[in-house]
Chain A
Amino acid sequence: MIETLAFYLFAGLVIAGGAMVIMSRNPVHSVLWLILAFFNAAGLMVLVGAEFIAMLLVIVYVGAVAVLFLFVVMMLDIDFAAMRAGFVKNFPLGIAIAVILLAELGLGIGAYGAGGLELGAADGTAAARSDVSNIEAIGALLYKPYIILFEIAGIILLVAMIGAIVLTHREPKPGARGRQDIGKQISRRPEDATVMKSPEYGEGVEL
């Protein structure tokens, strides 16, 4: 019972959050709605017993990607004074979302304790192994039958990195200020750079 209730709450909020992402006029709000959608998707994953994927969703998507989005959005030209003006007006909505998240937390933990959602029995190779933990099961698949895909994914990330560098890296002009020659810096000896003098009292230093 509690599982079904939790499922509909999470699923409904994912869809509502997704709809708000594309409907809200303010990009900052869009990203915040997106984070809400991610959180609820993670809740759904908990319900079907995939705790590891739920964790990944929260850590990778909410923790890194969404915050990165937020940074990009911050660079847009947005009138923050006008946004703050709505604080009092939006306060009830904020409280409502906070209460819903709290309720979800309770429901999620309750539902997980009650045994999670049954989505019908998977058969054949798709069935989850009951004797091992989530992480072990994923590792056994990822590093054994699907190792070649894992390697291809690695190459894709490498190409993404090459692309980012090709498109953004600018070689500074030779002799430009602030150009660093690490080899030259390391090979510099103290005796080339400093001189020891013991000047007489009352006389200047001849350099």
Chain B
Amino acid sequence: MDFSASFLLVMPELVLTAAGLILLLAAAWGGDKAARGISIVASLVFFAVGLMLVPSLHTGVDGPDTLAFGGLLKIDTFALFAKALIYLAAIACLVVAPAFFNGPAAGEERGMRAEYPVLILFAALGMSIMVSANDFMTLYLGLELNSLASYVLASILRKDQRSAEAGLKYFVLGALASGILLYGMSLLYGFTGGTDFASVRAGLDGELSIGQLFGLIFVLSGLAFKIAAVPFHMWTPDVYEGAPTPVTMFFSTAPKVAAVALTARVVFEVFGGQVAAWQQIVMFTALASIVFGALGAIGQDNLKRLLAYSSINNIGFILLGLAVANAAGASAMLVYLFIYVVMSLGSFTALLMLRDEDGDLYETFADIRGLAVTRPVIAWMLLVQMFSLAGIPPLLGFYSKFVIFQATVEAGLVAFAAIAIAASVIGAFYYIKFIKVMFFDDAVDLVKGKSGSGHWVLLILTGVIVSPLGYLITGSLKDLTDKAAAALFVAV
């Protein structure tokens, strides 16, 4: 094993670790007064490590050269693409955080904690490890690093009862899911004799024994919990509603990318020889997520809760791309993932801008009645995001659904695509409810608070990407995701 080559491959992770440790010291000495400065430095670090990924992303890397530390990690184009997305989402969540935590929305405990950006850094480090895992042990450690940081982030407003409840709920259910995943991994290890993906795959040759099948199902169940797919989605609305909004924004973007990328890697690289065994499971969770996400959102009045159901619905479409089980499907899945992250960031930023004069946040439909009259820019941007989430052309959300359906139909799974399209029509109902409330109801003029320039930049930027102008980048995006998806199928 060549250590220097390995260290070069994991340079982004090393930089993140070093930055996390140094900023932790800064947080310890500077106290919460330094929180803003630490946030800015952390965003710059994310930007810098993101830039480090660009050269290899541009050329595309796969094969044996991407293995680090004797095959424990695999830094191929697929991992790089996911990492870039994770870092971008993390920057956005750092940008919106200070205004929220320093405002009255933070409740009794006003003032941003200096540990918030440090925890985001370590969570992103865990996600980087997750997406480049090539061994079940690496997978589990990355997942736990990410999860532990997430539990703390969810309950960081410890005097707020909802936040504490969200953190506890997430912790208990997350620990249960980790246990299920770990049990599945131990079964696979026991029945195949290896923990690295290649040897587990070799051991799963031919007819699956009952123990191997249990291992496969348990691993998939644990991962399904982490990406909040039906039937392991019950925690999502509660946690999303209770957690502080910037943290909810983080949960619905970066960890989703990491967990989806991890799932894709596991099903293709570990269970790649057993497509028939997992395809029906993934297909079932995909369709169930689409349907439940669409139906569950209908009665919701809280906007954060509604977006939680929307994320379950979107995960369904992402899994539909995965269930196609070929490179075209994986590429479509990555396209959808990118556009989903942009739409999520945009809609949560808009939610974070619904403030009253004191800066407190509004969270229900009743508060945004007639927003188009009083705050037209926010209303129009929300309109763009919601139409895009509903998949209405000519917005970019249509393109993402289109590539998924195209891959599904080309693989001959027409019936499944038809169910998904029917369910997405149901889902359009509550997205359009936003529009109805904002544009056609009598104005209540509650939203009066000002928002910082960071929010405006994020709102406009995500709005522009999702708008028809976004089609300009689809060419290079498709190119990139094709390379990333192809890297999954290169045998090492």
- Please report A residues at the B interface, Cβ cutoff 8 Å: 122-124, 126, 145-149, 152-153, 155-156, 158-160, 162-163, 165-167
Q: In the complex, what residues of A have CB within 8 A of residue B122's CB?
A: 155, 158-159, 162
- In the complex the two chains form, what is the Cα distance from A163 to B145 in whole Å? 12
Q: In the complex, what residues of B have CB within 8 A of residue A160's CB?
A: 148
Once the chains bind, are A162 and B141 in contact (CB under 8 Å)?
Answer: no
- In the complex the two chains form, what is the Cα distance from A122 to B6 in whole Å? 29
CB within 8 A of B193: which of A122, A158, A159, A167?
A122
A-contacting residues, B117-158, CB 8 Å: 118-119, 122, 125, 129, 137-138, 141-142, 144-145, 148-149, 151-152, 155-156, 158
Asked if B465 is an interface residue, CB under 8 A from chain A, the answer is: no
Once the chains bind, are A126 and B193 in contact (CB under 8 Å)?
Answer: yes
Given A145-B1, A162-B24, A155 and B152 contact (CB-CB distance below 8 Å): no
Known: A152-B129, A156-B144, A166-B156. 4 other contacts (CB 8 A): A155-B17, A159-B119, A159-B145, A166-B113
Q: In the complex, what residues of B have CB within 8 A of residue A152's CB?
A: 129, 138, 141-142, 145
CB distance from B170 to the nearest CB of A (A): 12
Asked if B70 is an interface residue, CB under 8 A from chain A, the answer is: yes
Once the chains bind, are B70 and A156 in contact (CB under 8 Å)?
Answer: no
- In the complex the two chains form, what is the Cα distance from A56 to B142 in whole Å? 24
CB distance from B29 to the nearest CB of A (A): 13
Q: In the complex, what residues of B have CB within 8 A of residue A162's CB?
A: 24, 115, 118-119, 122, 152
Q: In the complex, what residues of A have CB within 8 A of residue B68's CB?
A: 148
Once the chains bind, are B72 and A146 in contact (CB under 8 Å)?
Answer: yes
Q: In the complex, what residues of A have CB within 8 A of residue B72's CB?
A: 145-146, 148-149
A126 nearest CB neighbor, chain B only: B193
Once the chains bind, are A146 and B137 in contact (CB under 8 Å)?
Answer: yes
A152 nearest CB neighbor, chain B only: B141
Once the chains bind, are A148 and B148 in contact (CB under 8 Å)?
Answer: no
Q: In the complex, what residues of A have CB within 8 A of residue B17's CB?
A: 155
Asked if B73 is an interface residue, CB under 8 A from chain A, the answer is: yes
Given A162-B119, A166-B152, A124 and B193 contact (CB-CB distance below 8 Å): yes
A-contacting residues, B1-59, CB 8 Å: 1, 6, 10, 17, 24
- In the complex the two chains form, what is the Cα distance from A149 to B136 in whole Å? 11
Once the chains bind, are B129 and A167 in contact (CB under 8 Å)?
Answer: no
Given A155-B145, A156-B144, A162-B152, A148 and B69 contact (CB-CB distance below 8 Å): yes
CB within 8 A of A123: which of B151, B155, B193?
B193
Q: In the complex, what residues of B have CB within 8 A of residue A155's CB?
A: 17, 122, 125, 145
CB distance from B17 to the nearest CB of A (A): 7
A-contacting residues, B83-101, CB 8 Å: none
Asked if B394 is an interface residue, CB under 8 A from chain A, the answer is: no
Question: 4 tightest CB-CB pairs across the interface, nearest first?
Answer: A163-B152, A152-B141, A148-B69, A166-B115
- In the complex the two chains form, what is the Cα distance from A1 to B256 in whole Å? 52
- In the complex the two chains form, what is the Cα distance from A145 to B167 in whole Å? 35
- In the complex the two chains form, what is the Cα distance from A201 to B141 in whole Å? 77
CB distance from A140 to the nearest CB of B (A): 14
Asked if B194 is an interface residue, CB under 8 A from chain A, the answer is: yes
Q: In the complex, what residues of B have CB within 8 A of residue A163's CB?
A: 119, 148-149, 151-152
CB distance from B15 to the nearest CB of A (A): 14
Once the chains bind, are A167 and B145 in contact (CB under 8 Å)?
Answer: no
- In the complex the two chains form, what is the Cα distance from A116 to B152 in whole Å? 45
B116 nearest CB neighbor, chain A only: A166
Once the chains bind, are B137 and A156 in contact (CB under 8 Å)?
Answer: no
Once the chains bind, are B194 and A126 in contact (CB under 8 Å)?
Answer: yes
Once the chains bind, are A156 and B73 in contact (CB under 8 Å)?
Answer: no
Q: Can you identify 19 A-B contacts, CB atoms within 8 angstroms?
A: A122-B193, A123-B193, A124-B193, A126-B193, A145-B1, A145-B70, A148-B6, A148-B72, A152-B142, A152-B145, A156-B144, A156-B145, A156-B148, A158-B122, A163-B148, A165-B115, A166-B156, A167-B152, A167-B155
A168 nearest CB neighbor, chain B only: B158
- In the complex the two chains form, what is the Cα distance from A149 to B196 in whole Å? 13
Q: In the complex, what residues of A have CB within 8 A of residue B141's CB?
A: 149, 152-153, 156
CB distance from B154 to the nearest CB of A (A): 11
CB distance from A146 to the nearest CB of B (A): 7
CB distance from A18 to the nearest CB of B (A): 13
Once the chains bind, are A159 and B149 in contact (CB under 8 Å)?
Answer: yes
CB distance from B117 to the nearest CB of A (A): 12
Once the chains bind, are B148 and A159 in contact (CB under 8 Å)?
Answer: yes
CB distance from B350 to the nearest CB of A (A): 29
CB distance from A78 to the nearest CB of B (A): 22
Q: In the complex, what residues of A have CB within 8 A of residue B144's CB?
A: 156
B6 nearest CB neighbor, chain A only: A148
A-contacting residues, B166-202, CB 8 Å: 167, 193-194
Q: In the complex, what residues of A have CB within 8 A of residue B142's CB?
A: 152
CB distance from A166 to the nearest CB of B (A): 5
Q: In the complex, what residues of A have CB within 8 A of residue B138's CB?
A: 148-149, 152
Q: In the complex, what residues of B have CB within 8 A of residue A148's CB?
A: 6, 10, 68-69, 72-73, 138
B1 nearest CB neighbor, chain A only: A145
- In the complex the two chains form, what is the Cα distance from A156 to B275 in whole Å? 34
CB distance from B171 to the nearest CB of A (A): 10
CB distance from B373 to the nearest CB of A (A): 42
